[in-house]
Structure 1
Amino acid sequence: MEKVTGDHSLGNLMNKGAAFSKYLFSRKAPMEDQSLREKIRELTEIVESNPTKYKLPATLPDPTNEQAVKFYNEMKRNRVETLMHQRVYAWQAIEYDEYKSLLYLFGRAPQEYASILKIFKEIERRDENFAPRTFFDFGSGVGTGTWAASELWSSSLFEYYLVDASKYMNDLSDLILRDGDINKNISLRNVYQRQFLPSRDQKYDIVLSAYSMFEQQNLNERLKVVNNLWNKTENYLIFVENGTNSGFQLLNEIREFLMDLKEQNNEKAFIFSPCPHNSDCPRFTLNDGTPCNFEVRFNSLPFSRPSQIHNHLYSYLVIKKGESNDTTDKWPRIVRPTLVKSKHTICRMCTKEGDLQEVIFTQARHGKQAYRCARHSSWGDQYPAESMESYEKETKTTRIKAQNKLKYGTGNEETPDLGG
Structure 2
Amino acid sequence: MPERQAPSVTVRFVPVLGGVELEFSSPHTTLRPTFNLSDTSRIAATRGVLRDGLRELKRLVVKHSDDERVRTEGLAEIAAQMGTTGRLMISTLCPPNARLLNQLQDFWRRAIRWNVPGRPVPVVEYVGHPEYVIPLEHMPFLDLSGCDRPTADPIRFIEQCRAFVGFSCVVRRKLLLDSPIPQCDELQPSEQGRIEMRFLRHSELKGATAEYVWLMSDGRDKVDVLGPFPAEGEKAADIAAQVFDPRWLPSGGRRAVPEQIQHFSCHCDTTTKDPLDYALQLRGATDVRVRVRDFKDHFTRLAGEGRSDMAMPMVVLNACGTSAADPVTATSFPRLFLENENRAVIGTEVAIPDRMAAAFSRKFYELLLLKGEPLGVAAYEAHDHMLTESRNPLGLAYSVYGNTELRIVNGVV
Using the size of structure 2 for normalisation, the TM-score is 0.26
Which structure has the bigger radius of gyration?
1
Which structure features the higher share of strand residues? 2
TM-score (norm 1): 0.26
Ranked by relative contact order (alpha carbons within 8 Å, sequence separation 6 or more), the top structure is 2
